[in-house]
Amino acid sequence: MNGGFVAGVEAGAGVGFAGPVFFTTVGGRAGFLVGERALLYGAAAAGYLPVIPAFFYTAGGGMEVAVGTNLSLFAEARALGAFGGGCCLLTIQAGFNWHP
């Protein structure tokens, strides 16, 4: 692999449609630049689901590729489980990030 090390913090909030169920997460990402346009990364987060109430975690990784100067595409997979309750649900997502 070429390039440098990249790390960051992320926070999120979402809603599940089997409820509605609201949740929040806080975590981080760390990875390495591969070439000039790609980032391979690992990610982990802790979250809270108030309706149960329960704390949960996610852990996994993915790849993000720059397309032009303001757009990147990503795909990632993460395991999701409850603290004290084991693992696992696998989540897979893909999308884009806009960088103004």
Task: Return per-residue pLDDT of the chain as tens, 100 residues.
Answer: 345 888 999 898 887 776 667 888 899 999 999 988 999 999 999 998 887 788 899 999 999 999 988 999 999 999 988 888 777 888 899 999 898 8
Give the predicted TM-score (pTM) of the model: 0.78
For 82, the token pair is 């409850």
Sheet strands (E) in 1-100: 5-16, 21-34, 38-49, 54-67, 71-82, 86-98
**Residue 41 burial by CB count (10 A; 0-12/13-18/19+): exposed, middle or buried?**
buried
Q: In what order do the strands lie in the sheet with 86-98?
A: 5-16, 21-34, 38-49, 54-67, 71-82, 86-98
